[in-house]
């Protein structure tokens, strides 16, 4: 959806000055591209020019065909026998707009696949992805040999590449390649951007936090950046029971934002005024849907206890808060069982998703992706989290709150997060924003620090949206269709996104809907949306993580 903005493309084509006509075949010629490979772009990087491939390809958007050169090459690091591959889509010169874009991955992947480069083509940007040195673009970090060299032995070079270094090198190489291919002189400004969500959001933050002048703008969604804390564990009520609790919560909380549209735009008001225990004793009913049996029953006190425990977030046996959870009205997708055991008549414990490989591989250092929960308590979880945080503080835990170099270089960040994200808690983005505000503007009042920070870093919570995507449980919610457009306008034309442009694509309120910037919250009065300051609501997003004796940014 990021790359579906045909209007953005047409606008760009119109403003791009015609250049000396090089055909895409000339631009993509192997010996020409070879002559553009950037030596000395990054310390220690040694390009293997024999690995270069370049071929003309095209991408159709609506009635427009975009031509580009698909460039791939490998490099190693001086003194190491390693190999990292990078892949850039280099647009036809007629619509190159003096832009470079880095893209990131998701889950345990460091890139978003063979078409990741389409993200930048509508914006006239050379667009890059990396394989991180994982031996192929399709391998992920939890591949044997990548994260661990063998049972017991961590692969520190790969950890460092995945943590931040591969992205840094891809950006430096990509920027220089772009300058060489189009013959940009030192006096020509090449605008550099980053776009990614989830793990890709973490990867982007890893750059913004360390390399202040590398990107002019970064679009960072639902970042998986508080790496140690994300390893949540689920429980076992029936899927239909969870779904009924969710639907009832959405129905009860929908009107609290002032408009009945099937969207809980104010999960904070939901948290303040809705108690799921009112649902105990109401019935639920779901038809069979292979492989799941038909389910019906009465919502039990036990199921409500499970849901309330999830909503409360992880606490240790002393009742101290270790982490926070999803917002009320987020789906329980990550905690919902998918298999039923006919002989016991019980639901199996849901899959542990990324928690299992993380605990096994990065805590226990064993090459397996399955984990038994026998003997695991909330205190075990807390201890794993503290261990992960300390061991990976300088690689995977990506929450360094001092962004001074980025700010001083004039960088801009648009950070967004679905308010009903069912994977990475929405409050985790709020916590980081608050950390940056307090570290960058110590001693200022809340309002003053937030208005200062909002001049260059803005956080948008997308009403009803799920994890990096719209949400089937609240389908009438807005979602930004082309947020890179907002970022580019901010960086290149100084148009601050006071609100973020988004679109409702279903239901009675189809059309544009602006998204309020944190800490303001949306409130409807019939059809009018206001972004309001609501201290009681703001307070619900703040947590005292007292299970730690040190700061958790
Ligand atoms: C676009 O690329 C495909 C191969 O990927 C090729 O078959 C097709 O002819 C190309 N289209 C144009 C209009 O060049
Ligand atoms: C671009 O080239 C890379 C490397 O050869 C390949 O993996 C990828 O599929 C290509 N993508 C497109 C869209 O042509
Ligand atoms: C561009 O800048 C580089 C690095 O600062 C310098 O080595 C080079 O001579 C400059 N080129 C021109 C044409 O000014
Ligand atoms: C909850 O709503 C979704 C659609 O939003 C529907 O598919 C599902 O069946 C509902 N669950 C129950 C238990 O009715
Ligand atoms: C919800 O209501 C129940 C029953 O009245 C009560 O025990 C519980 O403390 C309430 N929960 C919250 C979060 O207020
Ligand atoms: C069902 O549960 C029984 C008893 O715990 C267990 O032995 C069996 O392996 C389970 N079946 C499946 C398919 O997991
Ligand atoms: C590594 O440890 C896992 C989990 O204990 C085990 O399944 C696997 O066989 C071990 N691999 C080797 C090569 O010993
Ligand atoms: C902060 O600003 C809001 C308006 O955005 C205002 O309502 C509120 O009173 C201010 N708080 C303080 C402490 O000045
Ligand atoms: C946002 O939407 C408004 C109203 O549709 C439009 O005028 C404006 O150009 C859009 N801004 C960007 C950056 O796309
Ligand atoms: Ca609503």
Rounded to the nearest angstrom, the distance between the alpha carbon of 45 and the centre of ligand 2 is 23
Establish whether 50 is a catalytic residue: no
pLDDT of residue 228: 77
Q: Which of 47-56, 234-243, 443-452, 467-476 has the lowest mean pLDDT?
A: 234-243
User: What is the mean pLDDT of the segment spanning 170-186?
Assistant: 97
- For ligand 6, whether the C-beta of 341 sits within 6 Å is yes
pLDDT of residue 231: 56
The residue whose CA has the least distance to atom 11 of ligand 2 is 114
Q: From the alpha carbon of 186, which atom of ligand 3 is closest? A: 1
pLDDT at 352 > cutoff 90 = no
Ligand nearest to the CA of 370: 7
Rounded to the nearest angstrom, the distance between the alpha carbon of 186 and the centre of ligand 2 is 30
**With bands split at pLDDT 50, 70 and 90, how would you rate the model's confidence at 234?**
very low
Calpha distance 175→163 (Å, rounded):
21
Establish whether 59 is a catalytic residue: no
Segment 366-421, tens digit of pLDDT: 999 888 878 888 899 999 999 999 999 999 999 999 999 999 999 999 999 999 99
pLDDT of residue 72: 98
Contact predicate 242/336, CB 8 Å: yes
pLDDT of residue 238: 86
Question: CA dist 154 to 356, 387, 397, Å?
Answer: 17, 15, 17
pLDDT of residue 95: 93
Pocket-testing residue among 28, 56, 57, 58, ligand 1, by greatest number of atoms within 8 A of Cβ? 58
Q: Please check whether residue 515 lies inside any domain of the structure.
A: no
pLDDT at 111 > cutoff 70 = yes
Dihedral of CA atoms 112, 114, 118, 119 in degrees, nearest 10, equals 10
- The span from the first CA to the last CA of the chain, in angstroms, equals 31
Ligand nearest to the CA of 272: 5
What token pair was written down for 222? Answer: 């639902």
Identify whether 291 is preceded by a cis peptide bond (ω within 30 of 0): yes
Q: From the alpha carbon of 447, which atom of ligand 8 is closest? A: 1
Q: Please check whether residue 107 lies inside any domain of the structure.
A: yes
**With bands split at pLDDT 50, 70 and 90, how would you rate the model's confidence at 235?**
very low
pLDDT of residue 319: 95
pLDDT at 219 > cutoff 50 = yes
pLDDT of residue 5: 42
pLDDT of residue 333: 83
Ligand nearest to the CA of 72: 2
Q: Are strands 457-462 and 412-418 parallel, antiparallel or unpaired?
A: parallel
Rounded to the nearest angstrom, the distance between the alpha carbon of 276 and the centre of ligand 5 is 8
pLDDT at 101 > cutoff 90 = yes
Quickly list H helices, 458-513. 483-493
Calpha distance 436→447 (Å, rounded):
14
HEC profile for 154-221? Answer: ECHHHHHHHHHHHHHHHHHHHHHHHHHHHCCCCCCCCEEEEEEECHHHHHHHHHHCCCCCCCCEEEEE
**With bands split at pLDDT 50, 70 and 90, how would you rate the model's confidence at 152?**
very high
pLDDT of residue 345: 75
User: What is the mean pLDDT of the segment spanning 315-325?
Assistant: 94
Ligand nearest to the CA of 279: 5
The residue whose CA has the least distance to atom 8 of ligand 7 is 367
**With bands split at pLDDT 50, 70 and 90, how would you rate the model's confidence at 125?**
very high
Rounded to the nearest angstrom, the distance between the alpha carbon of 330 and the centre of ligand 4 is 13
pLDDT at 447 > cutoff 60 = yes
- For ligand 6, whether the C-beta of 115 sits within 6 Å is no
Q: Which of 131, 334, 421, 486 is catalytic?
A: 421
**With bands split at pLDDT 50, 70 and 90, how would you rate the model's confidence at 16?**
very low
The residue whose CA has the least distance to atom 5 of ligand 1 is 57
User: What is the mean pLDDT of the segment spanning 352-369?
Assistant: 88
- For ligand 6, whether the C-beta of 343 sits within 6 Å is yes
* pLDDT > 90 fraction of the chain, expressed in percent and rounded: 83
Contact predicate 449/500, CB 8 Å: no
Residue of 375 and 124 predicted with greater confidence = 124
Q: Please check whether residue 319 lies inside any domain of the structure.
A: no
- For ligand 9, whether the C-beta of 486 sits within 6 Å is yes
The residue whose CA has the least distance to atom 4 of ligand 1 is 57
Contact predicate 174/111, CB 8 Å: no
Calpha distance 522→127 (Å, rounded):
35
User: What is the mean pLDDT of the segment spanning 146-163?
Assistant: 97
pLDDT of residue 20: 62
Q: Which of 5, 112, 198, 428 is catalytic?
A: 198
Calpha distance 237→337 (Å, rounded):
8
Pocket-testing residue among 180, 185, 186, ligand 3, by greatest number of atoms within 8 A of Cβ? 186
pLDDT of residue 66: 96
Pocket-testing residue among 236, 339, 341, ligand 6, by greatest number of atoms within 8 A of Cβ? 341
Pocket-testing residue among 147, 151, 152, ligand 7, by greatest number of atoms within 8 A of Cβ? 151
Q: From the alpha carbon of 67, which atom of ligand 1 is closest? A: 14
Question: CA dist 68 to 23, 26, 59, 75, 90, Å?
Answer: 10, 11, 8, 22, 5
Q: Which of 48-57, 334-343, 435-444 has the lowest mean pLDDT?
A: 334-343
Q: From the alpha carbon of 488, which atom of ligand 9 is closest? A: 13
Q: Please check whether residue 348 lies inside any domain of the structure.
A: no
Q: Please check whether residue 36 lies inside any domain of the structure.
A: yes
What token pair was written down for 497? Answer: 């996104």
Q: Please check whether residue 439 lies inside any domain of the structure.
A: no
Q: Does pTM top 0.85 for this prediction?
A: yes
pLDDT of residue 376: 84
**With bands split at pLDDT 50, 70 and 90, how would you rate the model's confidence at 211?**
very high
DSSP letters spanning 109-142: -SS--TTGGGGTGGGTEEEEEE-TTSSSTT--TT
Rounded to the nearest angstrom, the distance between the alpha carbon of 546 and the centre of ligand 3 is 52
Establish whether 331 is a catalytic residue: no
Domain that holds residue 122: 1-189
**Helices 166-182 and 199-208: angle between axes, nearest 10 degrees:** 70
The residue whose CA has the least distance to atom 8 of ligand 9 is 501
**With bands split at pLDDT 50, 70 and 90, how would you rate the model's confidence at 18?**
very low
pLDDT of residue 351: 67
User: What is the mean pLDDT of the segment spanning 505-530?
Assistant: 96
Calpha distance 323→312 (Å, rounded):
9
Ligand nearest to the CA of 246: 4
Q: Please check whether residue 154 lies inside any domain of the structure.
A: yes
- Total domains in the fold of the chain: 1
3-class SS at 13? helix
Mean pLDDT of the chain: 92
Rounded to the nearest angstrom, the distance between the alpha carbon of 185 and the centre of ligand 3 is 8
pLDDT of residue 370: 87
Reported as half-sphere exposure (CB side, CA atoms, 13 A), residue 24 has a value of 19
pLDDT at 437 > cutoff 60 = yes
Q: From the alpha carbon of 247, which atom of ligand 4 is closest? A: 1
Q: Which of 77, 167, 417, 467 is catalytic?
A: 467
Rounded to the nearest angstrom, the distance between the alpha carbon of 472 and the centre of ligand 4 is 10
């Amino acid at each position: 959806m990021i790359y579906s903005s045909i209007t953005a493309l047409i606008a760009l084509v119109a403003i791009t000055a015609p250049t000396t006509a090089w055909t895409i075949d000339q631009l993509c010629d192997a010996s020409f591209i070879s002559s553009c490979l950037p030596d000395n772009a990054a310390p220690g990087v040694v390009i293997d020019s024999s690995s270069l491939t370049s071929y003309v390809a095209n991408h159709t958007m609506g009635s427009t065909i975009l031509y580009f050169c698909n460039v791939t090459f490998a490099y190693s690091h001086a003194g190491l026998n390693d190999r990292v591959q990078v892949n850039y889509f280099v647009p036809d010169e007629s619509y190159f707009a003096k832009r470079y874009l880095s893209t990131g991955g998701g889950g345990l992947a460091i890139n978003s696949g063979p078409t990741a480069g389409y993200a930048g083509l509508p914006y006239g940007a050379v667009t890059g992805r990396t394989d991180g040195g994982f031996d192929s673009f399709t391998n992920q970090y939890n591949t044997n040999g990548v994260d661990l060299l063998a049972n017991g032995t961590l692969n520190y070079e790969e950890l460092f590449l995945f943590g931040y270094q591969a992205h840094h090198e891809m950006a430096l190489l990509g920027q220089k390649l772009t300058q060489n291919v189009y013959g940009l002189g030192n006096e020509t400004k090449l605008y550099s951007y980053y776009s990614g969500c989830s793990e890709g959001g973490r990867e982007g933050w890893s750059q913004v936090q360390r390399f202040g002048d590398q990107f002019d703008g970064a679009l960072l969604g639902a970042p998986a950046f508080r790496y140690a804390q994300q390893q949540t564990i689920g429980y076992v009520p029936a899927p239909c029971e969870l779904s009924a609790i969710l639907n009832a919560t959405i129905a009860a909380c929908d009107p609290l934002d002032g408009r009945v549209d099937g969207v809980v735009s104010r999960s904070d008001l939901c948290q303040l005024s809705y108690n799921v225990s009112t649902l105990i004793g109401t019935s639920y009913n779901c038809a069979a849907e292979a492989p799941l049996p038909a389910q019906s029953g009465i919502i039990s006190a036990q199921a409500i206890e499970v849901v309330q425990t999830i909503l409360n977030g992880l606490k240790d046996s002393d009742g101290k808060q270790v982490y926070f959870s999803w917002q009320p009205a987020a789906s329980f997708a990550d905690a919902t069982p998918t298999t039923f055991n006919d002989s016991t008549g019980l639901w199996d414990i849901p899959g542990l998703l990324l928690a299992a490989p993380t605990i096994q591989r990065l805590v226990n250092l064993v090459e397996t992706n399955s984990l038994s929960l026998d003997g695991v308590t909330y205190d075990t979880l807390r201890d794993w989290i503290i261990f992960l945080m300390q061991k990976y503080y300088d690689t995977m835990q990506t929450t360094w709150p001092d962004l001074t170099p980025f700010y001083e270089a004039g960088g801009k960040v648009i950070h967004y997060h679905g308010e009903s994200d069912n994977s990475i808690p929405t409050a985790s983005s709020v916590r980081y924003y608050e950390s940056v505000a307090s570290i960058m503007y110590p001693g200022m009042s809340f309002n003053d620090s937030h208005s200062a920070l909002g001049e260059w870093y803005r956080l948008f919570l997308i009403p009803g949206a799920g994890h990096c995507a719209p949400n089937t449980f609240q389908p009438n919610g807005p979602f930004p269709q082309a947020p890179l457009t907002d970022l580019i306008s901010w960086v290149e034309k100084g148009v601050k996104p006071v609100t973020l442009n988004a679109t409702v694509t279903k239901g009675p309120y189809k059309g544009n809907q602006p998204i309020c910037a944190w800490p303001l919250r949306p409130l409807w009065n019939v059809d009018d949306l206001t972004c309001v300051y609501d201290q009681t609501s703001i307070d619900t997003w703040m947590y005292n993580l007292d299970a730690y004796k040190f700061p958790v940014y």
